Structure 1
Amino acid sequence: MANILIFHSDTIMVQGLATFLTSTTSHQIRIVNHYLKCLDSANFFAQLGEVFVIIAEGKLLDLNQCQQLNNFNQSRLILCDRPADFDSLILALNCNSSYIGLEHNDPENLILAISCALIGSVFICPQAKQKLNYCVFEPNFKQRQAVAQLEEIDQKILVLASQGYSHTKIASIVNYSPLNVGYRLRTIVQKLNLQTKQEAISLAINLGLVRSFNQQQTSQAA
């Protein structure tokens, strides 16, 4: 039997979770009103046994607070929100913690998260995974498509801008006027649905366009 600590700003949610877990598991359920104070109390955690699980509202914590739990080898953290919160989900991933969204009222998610936590594994509920895909992977895919659909000359101009070349230097390389280079960069920003040239440069670097261009240049030189 493990100790399960519940820390959430919604008192109704806390009572609901406690009632559900009491009726469906044999674990010792504790409602924690001062979670952050508990983090500073090694004696409190030492009394909880070999392994204990903390179910905490993700929006109430930050990375440093979550990482404090690393000082206690027996602790396991599950972050939860209603509705699922993207920032909390990323926090959970950074802390190697489980994450569940409570808006779907799926008790199986909570039971699975606790079961995984007790064996040192991580569980991300399906609804949160969909949110992660929508917020991270889908935009990334669309951005890759947008960059790939740029004309070859625009890709080259963007790469050169990413390498710190001025409009005048870029113009001399691609045989355009500096004004034309500036115009094409503004067009690139619009095509990528961004606001600034710097955002376009960051995107080109993050998506590997600059690295790919450099490798291509090296291959051609060889």
Structure 2
Amino acid sequence: LSVEATDNLDPEKRVTPTNQELKAQGLGNIVSGLLGGIPVTQVIVRSTANIESGGKTRLASFIHGVLLLICVASIPNLLNEIPLASLAAILLVIGYKLARVSLFKAMWKEGFWQFVPFVVTIVGLVFTDLLTGIMLGMAVAFFEILIYNYQLNFYREETSAGSFTIRLTEHMTFLNKASLKRLLREVPPDCAVTIDMSSTRILDHDVREVIEDFTTHAAADGIDVTVLGSTRPTIALTDGV
């Protein structure tokens, strides 16, 4: 998160090498642990201070770290006298630069399902903490993915009078079983149905069972069923489980 925020604040729009950042933090935490120190990580306040001060190279971060080390070692009591309100004000300014009103408008224009996880994450960050807010946002986003997969992985179209085509998409998981079963039950008797699986690569065993059951019992209702594409695609989930 700090890396992405720092890249957004950088006036030159450079991209941080994340692998190098991860290795540096790992090595720093090892050394800190061996010396009895606390874990270290990148923080947006230090990065913002460097950017606002005109820092452009890694030397700026190194000098910043050396100055902090000198201050902590020489004047720790004086540092404790800095009002927390002053530090909070700095964070508010940084937060405003990263989350302007235009950002909220842009997310709203992306659509309701994009805006909800965004807002939930922000509310979680404000009223709990960083990790909890992120986890709440991820949970909402995951729930939206489940709903999307449940609803939109197939559709029915009437190609002619008394003739229907049900097209399955690339991924058909167990989440689609109930809705697909309901759709097949709504097929009227004495018609022709084509189940197009030509684009399907992942077909769950439960979904395949629903299709096979429908093709078996459709004749009793006068329904002529045609299945396009293999009933056993490249990957069949839950087979052998």
Both structures adopt the same fold (TM-score exceeding 0.5): no
| TM-score of the superposed pair, with normalisation by structure 1 | 0.30
The higher radius of gyration belongs to 2
